[in-house]
Amino acid sequence: MNKREVIRFSREDIDKRVKEIAKQISKDYENKELVVIGLLRGSFVFLADLVREIEKPIVVDFLTTSSYENSEISSGNVKILSDIRENIEGKDVILVDDIMDSGNTLKDVKNYILSKKPNSVKTCVMLDKPCRREVEIAPDYFGFEIEDWFIVGYGLNFGNKYRNIPYIFSYED
């Protein structure tokens, strides 16, 4: 059975939306000390585009987590593989990830980051898939809300491939 690629969000759609999110973040954090933390590896493409559009000095750091391994479905067990380097106590933090699906990863990571006593913690994802939510959490900033598609591209992977595709797509029969 051959599957065909269906582009869900073009490079132009993504670029426009990233600029809108960055403009809102710039406004919301105008006079605040902001630390943007990307969850590796999925967020790196979105994060790079986003931080280049934020119109204020920021600190960028990374946290490496794992919950999917090589599966299409999150295991629900979030592992922190490498921690942030920045001292975030008293600072405002935005956690950036590629997608909020079950919500388990960002909820667990947010709780972990809160234990480091920041002033505030918000979440930002490129894609929000609320139909799959297992925990009570919603992104503070998001690019697009999607249906229950398994999507790849623009940092999102399957089996560690497709992250480099500049648009977001799924497969259909």
What is the predicted pLDDT for the residue at 76? 58
| 159 — pLDDT class (breaks 50, 70, 90) | confident
Closest by Cα among 107, 113, 127, 35 to 67? 107
pLDDT in tens, 28-71: 999 999 999 999 888 999 999 999 999 999 999 999 987 655 44
How would residue 80 be classed by pLDDT, with cut points 50, 70 and 90?
A: confident
User: What pLDDT is recorded for position 67?
Assistant: 64
Task: Note the pLDDT of residue 68.
Answer: 52
47 three-state secondary structure: helix
Q: Is 15 a catalytic residue?
A: no
153-166 in b/e form (b: 16+ CB < 10 A) is bbbbbbeeebbebe
Q: Which of 49, 92, 97, 101 is catalytic?
A: 101
- Angle formed by the axes of helices 11-28 and 44-53, nearest 10°: 60
pLDDT for position 72: 47
List the single range of 64-78, 86-100, 119-133, 149-163 with lowest mean pLDDT. 64-78
More confident residue, 71 or 113: 113
Contact between residue 118 and residue 59 where contact means Cβ atoms under 8 Å apart = no
